[in-house]
Homo-oligomer: A and B are copies of this chain.
C-alpha cells in the first residue's frame, strides 16, 4: 500500500480511502490512486482486512458428497446467492461420514476463516460433533430434523411423498409400494414415513418397503424384486435415479409402464423427462433451498446473533408425466403378469 501511495504521490491514508470508496476524495486524486493500483497490480490484503473487521465475508459449507444432484445444485445456489451478497463459499468435504471425520471437519472449520456454516448432512452424525462448534459461528442445517435445536432449511419431503401417494391412489391403485433411500438419510426417512402414514390414513394395506442407496443400481435390484411381487401396480421411488434402474428392471421383466405398473420418482433431475418412460416425479426446488440458507445465514451474521431454531420448508410440486396411469383391473394384473415370467 505504501508503494501505491508513493507512486500516486499521496499518503497511504488516501489510498485506503479510495479502496474503501470513502467520499471525501477529489476525483483527480482518486484516479491517480486507481492508476497506481493498476500499475502495481495492488490488491488489498484480505487477511489484514479480516483481522481489522473481525469478519471474513466467507461462509463454510460442510457436506458429504457433491455426487448427488440435490447436493450439487443446492451448493451451486448457495454459492451464487452468497456471491451476490459479497460472500465467498468455502467447501469442507467429509468423504466418509464417520463420527471422527465429522468431528475433524468441525475442528478444521474452527480454524478456518468463516463467519458461518451451512451443514448439508444427516443431523444425527452432527450431534456428537456439536459441542466442538466454535461459539460465535452461526449454523444453518439442510436435510435434517433438528429444527428444535438449529435453524433448518429443507424441502418439504413429507408433503412431496404425500402428493405422490395421493396421486397414485387417486388413479385407483389399491396401494402403493415404496423403494426408500438409505436408512441413514433423514430425507429418506421422512419420505418413507409420509408414504406410510398417507396409506394408513386412507385405510390401505402397507406393503413392506424396499431399501436402496439412491443409486440406479439399487433401484434396478429393487425393481427385480417388485416385478415378482403379485398385485404391485404402483411404486413410489424415493429418488429419480433409483426410478431409472427400476424402470429398466420392469422393462426386462416385461412389466409395461404405465399400463401395468405406475411409477413416481422424487427430485425431478433434468434427465427424468427423458427416461425410457418420461417420469412422473416430485420436483424439489434446490435453488430455493440454497437461497433460503444464504438468507438465514446472512441474517444471523448481520444481526449478530443466532437465529431461533426452527424448520423452513420449501414446497414441492408433483410433475405428472407418462409413468403413471389408471390402475389395471386387479384380476388382470396378476393373470397377465404370470405368463410373462421367464
A47 at the interface (CB under 8 A from B): yes
Which one of A75, A245, A271, A276 has the highest number of Cβ atoms from chain B below 10 Å of its Cβ?
Answer: A271
Q: How far is the CA of A251 from the CA of B113 in the complex (A)?
A: 53
Closest B residue by C-beta to A19: B111
Would B91 and A89 count as touching, CB distance under 8 A? yes
Q: How far is the CA of A116 from the CA of B233 in the complex (A)?
A: 56
Would B92 and A90 count as touching, CB distance under 8 A? no
Q: How far is the CA of A75 from the CA of B61 in the complex (A)?
A: 14
Which residue of B48, B111, B215, B276 is within 8 Å of A276 (Cβ)? Answer: B276
Q: How far is the CA of A134 from the CA of B108 in the complex (A)?
A: 28
**Given that A43-B111, A276-B248 are known contacts, is A83 also in contact with B73, CB under 8 Å in the complex?**
no
Q: How many copies does the complex hold?
A: 2
Which one of A93, A220, A244 has the highest number of Cβ atoms from chain B below 10 Å of its Cβ?
Answer: A93
Q: How many Å from the CB of A163 to the closest CB on chain B?
A: 24
Which residue of B45, B58, B65, B274 is within 8 Å of A76 (Cβ)? Answer: B65
Interface pairs (15), CB distance under 8 Å: A41-B134, A43-B110, A44-B111, A46-B56, A47-B48, A47-B51, A48-B51, A50-B50, A67-B76, A79-B91, A79-B93, A89-B90, A217-B270, A217-B273, A219-B274
Closest B residue by C-beta to A40: B135
A interface residue numbers (CB < 8 A to B): 41, 43-48, 50-51, 56, 58, 65-67, 72-73, 75-76, 79-80, 83, 88-93, 95, 108, 110-113, 134-135, 215-217, 219-220, 241, 244-245, 247-248, 251, 270-271, 273-276
Would A88 and B112 count as touching, CB distance under 8 A? yes
Using A67-B73, A217-B273, A241-B270 as known contacts, list a sample of 5 further A-B pairs with CB atoms less than 8 Å apart, ordered by residue number in A.
Answer: A41-B135, A43-B110, A88-B108, A90-B90, A220-B274
Q: How far is the CA of A271 from the CA of B83 in the complex (A)?
A: 32
